[in-house]
Chains A and B, each alone.
Chain A
Amino acid sequence: MEQIEFTYPANRKVNKKAHVGVVGSGDLEVLLEPGEGEVARVFIRTSVDGFRDTWKAVLDRFFAKYDGAVRIEINDAGATPGIVHLRLEQAVEVSER
């Protein structure tokens, strides 16, 4: 298991929490909650080691559009980049519902 952290600039306050997904094979769990300051922090625990660059590419793309000041925690069981992106978008959708 590998732990990875990223920080992105953010300027919009988020008020609601969201929890989506399951730590099942090929899937992941995302916990999104309001963060502190003008920053978004992402904490990842993944069962597959050695994919830091891929995680960075997926999150760079996600945060190119998303500007919420959040704390995101990800527990991953080998999800593909596409699934990760979908789960992140789903978490945002739930938090803004």
Chain B
Amino acid sequence: MSSKRYSADFINRQSFIELDARERAKALFDEGTSRELVGPFDRVESPWLPTQGVTPQEDDGCVVMKGKIAGQAAVVVALEGAFQGGSIGEVSGAKMTAALDLACAHNEKGVRTSAVILLETGGVRLQEANLGLAAIAELMASILALRKRAPVICLTAGTVGCFGGMSLAAGLASYVVMTREARLGMNGPEVIEQENGIEEFDSSDRALIWAIHGGEQRYALGLADALVDDDAPQVVDAIRHFTSKGVPAVHRSSQVELYRSRLATLDTSQQWDPRAFRELWAKNGIREGKR
């Protein structure tokens, strides 16, 4: 592709990352089928933030919508990364869990309803620590219940990415969709540097961060199922593909033996770099992880 052609594609692209949580959620549905549940005018905000001097947001940074994707019923939960880093508090956590439970109830009644969770989050909201932790545990239980009946798709588009306890929720999803700009990992770069020193992880090295946590590496390692450009139609196509695909035969988080054997054969006496690690896992049958 010539550079001229590339820049035209880039300029004409409809960015998905530039959309806010509400616009992202709406973009995934078939036109005119979505409606928001517990929206900002319902005023279900965090009761804990104002008492600590933090301005709350009326939807607590969590947008829930119901509608149709590729003609089938679906719920979408989108976290707003710009509000408190997309962190999970009592209210946003309860909204997510309730949305997944609603999808579960529909499936039990015979209406196939999948779920899409848009995770832009650093994990638990520190101001609501224990309630946030409990919320993530409940959310994970709800994902496990729903994923037996219908696909739960995690979309991490960026640029916040998905970290902390919410990365575990992403790990339970039936399918994970990422962009190159997105990052996915349990401990974020700054946490690793703080705990193990700058020799272990230099959190100011952006190339290193994306080489390890970035969407391209996660996809190459089989920890994500699709890598898409920051382009709204491409993202929508990927989501429609996975909602239509149905429940996978084996969930990634159920492949305990596969990952155990990979870790057992890993030579930890040497320092691996991201590219060499990618090649090693590719040799070790990474595609099995793709399901």
Measuring CB to CB, which residues of chain A are less than 8 angstroms from any residue of chain B? Answer: 1, 17, 19, 22-25, 27, 29, 31, 33, 45-47, 73, 75-77
Contact = CB atoms under 8 A, between A and B. Distances in A.
B252 to A, nearest CB: 32
* Highest count of chain B CB atoms <10 Å: which of A24, A25, A45: A24
Nearest to A77: B55
28 contacts: A1-B53, A1-B55, A19-B39, A19-B40, A19-B41, A19-B58, A22-B21, A22-B57, A22-B80, A23-B56, A23-B57, A23-B82, A24-B82, A24-B83, A25-B82, A27-B82, A29-B40, A29-B57, A31-B40, A31-B58, A45-B55, A45-B56, A46-B55, A47-B54, A47-B55, A73-B58, A75-B56, A76-B55
A27 B57 CA distance: 12
B44 to A, nearest CB: 13
A1 B41 contact: no
A15 B288 CA distance: 57
Q: Give the 5 A-B CB pairs with smallest separation, nearest first.
A: A24-B82, A23-B57, A1-B53, A22-B82, A47-B55
The prevalent SS among residues of B at the interface is loop
A34 to B, nearest CB: 11
A75 B41 contact: no
Contacts of A22: 20-21, 57, 80, 82-83
Contacts of A45: 50, 55-56
B39 A75 contact: no
A25 to B, nearest CB: 8
A6 B56 CA distance: 20
Interface of B: 20-21, 39-41, 50, 53-58, 61, 80, 82-84
Contacts of A31: 40-41, 58
B82 A75 contact: no
A23 B40 contact: no
A76 B83 CA distance: 11
A29 B80 contact: no
Given A19-B41, A29-B40, A31-B40, A75 B80 contact: no
* Highest count of chain B CB atoms <10 Å: which of A17, A25, A27, A29: A29
Contacts of B84: 23
A47 B49 CA distance: 11
Nearest to A76: B55
B219 to A, nearest CB: 28
B41 to A, nearest CB: 6
A7 B259 CA distance: 63
A25 B85 CA distance: 10
Nearest to A26: B82
Nearest to B83: A23
Nearest to B50: A1
A29 B20 CA distance: 12
